[in-house]
Structures are given as structure tokens and as C-alpha cells.
Structure 1
């Protein structure tokens, strides 16, 4: 889940397509996370269901839905530009604390004695350039299956709770998704 920092004034949740647009404006998503698509990098706030996003393992895949939620209590993590290595991510990126990102090289070796690992952002806090935050607006893209997408030049996981391969897996990330998006008021797709 991608996040936007808390605004000065709390926002209320609305039920309609207009609410999605309002949340996108609140999050200023036109200047937010850049997602690699078949049309080049696109701001998250401009993506729609049916757009094709670059995935690490399965090439370009269609977005099935995009869900926006306003929340005042979600733990988030800011990964500063270059916080995961040379130019990764390419710009500051805010994700939920449970959102998993691929780390490589020294960071993966330090944390797990591996050359590459998929790690929840909360486990990266404390590394240079990775700090805790609070978020007010969350956005989650869903695909037919769990995918790893290129976000601001960093590979990040998009969990699809309906993925039949997932079964009844109950992870911290799926619990977080269920809590934040329990009311599908703001759904595209």
C-alpha cells in the first residue's frame, strides 16, 4: 500500500467516485508514487483499472482494482531517495509499515544474510534514510495474483487477497489490508 503523509486537517470518508477523486487530490497523487507501466512511468493517482503495470515476474499485468482509503492511524514508513542503495528508490517513497519491498546487496546481507530479500518496510526502519511516519491516505492496487511492481524505481509487493494461490494465508500485510480497506467506499474497478 502506498501512502501519503497526514494532512493538517482530518478528512472524512465519502461514498462515491467523487470521493476517490477527492482522496487522490488530498494525497496529491498526481505528484506521488511513479509506477512503471506499458506507457512509461505514471503517477499512481492517474492509474485506472485495466492499465498495464510492469511486474517483476510476469511482465505487464492489468490492474484489476485500485482502492483508496482515508485513515488517521496507519503506521507508515518513509524510504528516502537512495535509502535502499544507489538511487533506490529514485525519490522519497511512503509505504505502509507492512508493505514489503525487495532489498539487495549489503542491506539484504546485513538483515538476512541473503543477496536479495522481500522485507516489510517496518523492518528497514533504522537504516540510513528509512524513518517511521503516519499516513492519512492509502492506495492499494490489486491484480489477479500477488505481484511485485516497480514503484519509484524500487520493487514493491502488491498483495491480492483474492489470489487463489494465497489460500487462507493470514499475514500481517493481509490483516492490515483488511483493516484499512474494510469499507470499499473508494474503489476503482
Structure 2
């Protein structure tokens, strides 16, 4: 059985306005009071960002659901499938041992953020279970503990976002993968300066149709740009998504001109005699995370959250970002699977050929694998050679 880690905020770390009387667990419970089926207009919630922790749930199914009990039994009820705690959980003054609570997706609440986005809050409830004496399964003994805390399905709101109630629904089946968004594709962090026909422009300000300077094809129109924010809970649960910071001058002389922050998978251009000997190519593209052996290239642990941007052109291009040469979005199969459903539909509408079974985009340069990229970085570090030597 798999163990799934969720971001988690306990009940005591939530607050709400316009609370109403309890209504059979049909609304958001905060401070011992539950929202009813339809809270008053303007009901808002907030939570203590610093109190965000994690909740580990062991499950034998691919989703998190409400009432996972085997119907038809009288007396003790056996779970239809497991959703048990793998860590101690304290509810009130009682600490519950590992494997003694069945956790449930009690209900979901749709919230509107003042950042213009909607968020799905998931209420987690708990019921006590005890081991089956026969050793076959655990069974329900009660009591029901009600809602013990919350998580979010999909993106978490940035710290300080004002959240307003929109509607709530009964607990549904939610795939475990939906709780923590994954992103393994190349992205620029917000604020990155991209060279365009207007000079350097923050990537946040670029729009479809803007002319961006490319290494191989001059000024090219931007066909698609997308972004998404990873908040502190996601970066805590998925540290592999933390951005990489390349300090100014660490790729070569004045390259980048200022610190460059990119996603771990974002590839940067390397041009060196070591690369030529290893790969038979004058220039190659290497993922930033493979270059961590180089001094001045590190995981940006100090960033509590990050907004990632993706740029797409008619072909894979090399662009100038903070003075360094880096890639645009490469439309390989894995990248398209990682951008999310809405973004994928937008991209496929622009480039329907990507649906062709034998379609293979042409990379702007040789794409180096992870193991080879790490070997390259080690050799550069050992020989104290820049990844991009100064022009003669």
C-alpha cells in the first residue's frame, strides 16, 4: 500500500467570519462551529501559514474518498479500503497511535481568492478503528471525531490571499496526485528578464505575439505563455520542485548578468571543450539541477514560493534570459503531460501535430541526460573551468 503525503492545517489554525450554527458536517468547521449548507454572503476564511504541516495517509486505493466503509454490515463496520494515519495524530487532548484512525474526505469547499483564482479546500475527518482480532482487516469502533483539519486539492493560495466562500459539496473521490501539483517541465521564475525587440522585459509582462530575440532565428513571435504559482505547502511537500538559482557570472564571464532563477528541469546552454569531448557537439543544453556541483548554482531554499512561466514558440528556441542563453518550452511528451489539462488543451489547439503518434520535436541543441549532465558538472568543477569560456 502507498503512503501519500498531504499538506495539512489543523482546525485550530483556521478562522472564519460569519460562522453559523452546526449543520451535520455540511459546512466548514472552524473553532468548533460549522458553516451550514450555504453560509452568509461574504463569508471569508484565513489560516496560519506558518502552521502548515504534513499528513501521511496509507491507502490501498488510487483516490481519497468519503465514507470508505463496507456497506451492509451491522455493528462494527469494516473499511471498504484503507485511508489510515501513519503518524500519531492529536485530537483535543488525545493522541491517536499510527493506524488507529480512518481518514476521510468529508467535504470540499470552493473558495474565491482575491488574486483572481479559485481554490478547492478539502475537509478531513477521522473515525477510530481497531485491529481485527482475526488479523484480516481493521474495523470501525468509533467515535467519529468530525473534521480535524484541512488540505487543498490542487494549488494552494499564496500567503495573505483573502478567501471568500463560493459553495461546498459532499466529499468526492479525489486522485491522490491531485493534492500536490507536480511540475517537471522547464520554467522561468517570475521577474526573469527576457530579451525582446523592446529590450529586456520581465517575463511576467510578455504576451502572445510579442517578439522575443532567439539565438538561431532572430526575433520570433511568442505563440503561447503560461504560468502557475507553487506556494510554500507544495514546495515543502515536493522539494524537488524548488527553483535553482544561478548566481551572476557563474556560467561564464558576466553570464548570467544578474542572478537567474529557473525550475530544476530548465536547460541552460553550455559551450566548452569538456562538453565537446564528451558529446561531440560544440554546444549542449543541460538541466539546471544537473549543475549543482558548480559553485554558485544552488537550490533557492530561501524562496517561500515561486511563480513559474513557460514560453512556447513555433519551434524549440534558445532565448536570452538575464543575459544567459536558455531554452524555451520543449514540446516533448513528458512536458505536455506536466503542464496541466487546460494548458495542454491550449497548446494542442495551436499545434495539433503534437497529437501525431510519431511526432518528435527537434531540439535546439543536443539535450544531455541527467547522468551525463552531472558528469559534465563534476568535470568542470574538478578542472575549475567555466561552462561558457570567455570569447578569445
Q: So what's the TM-score if we normalise by structure 1?
A: 0.69
* Counterpart Cα distance in 2 of 1:121 and 1:133: 12
Pairwise CA distance, 1:142: 1.1
| Structure-2 residue corresponding to 1:153 | 323
Pairwise CA distance, 1:91: 0.8
* Counterpart Cα distance in 2 of 1:43 and 1:82: 20
Pairwise CA distance, 1:178: 3.1
Gaps of at least 5 residues in structure 2 are 1-48, 51-110, 118-156, 162-187, 351-392
Gaps of at least 5 residues in structure 1 are 1-8, 162-168
Q: Does 2:337 match 1:184? A: no
* Counterpart Cα distance in 1 of 2:248 and 2:259: 5
RMSD: 3.6
2:266 to 96, 99, 107: 99
Query: 1:107–1:126: structure 2 CA closer, same or farther, 3 Å change rule?
Result: farther
Pairwise CA distance, 1:136: 2.9
CA contact (8 A) 1:84 1:107 kept: no
Q: So what's the TM-score if we normalise by structure 2?
A: 0.35
**When the two structures are aligned, how many residues end up with a matched partner?**
159
Q: How do 1:9-158 and structure 2 match up within 5 A?
A: 18-19=116-117, 29=190, 32-71=191-230, 72=234, 73=238, 74-105=241-272, 108=275, 115-133=282-300, 136-158=306-328
Partner SS for 2:300? strand
Pairwise CA distance, 1:44: 0.9
* Counterpart Cα distance in 1 of 2:209 and 2:287: 27
Query: 1:100–1:89: structure 2 CA closer, same or farther, 3 Å change rule?
Result: same
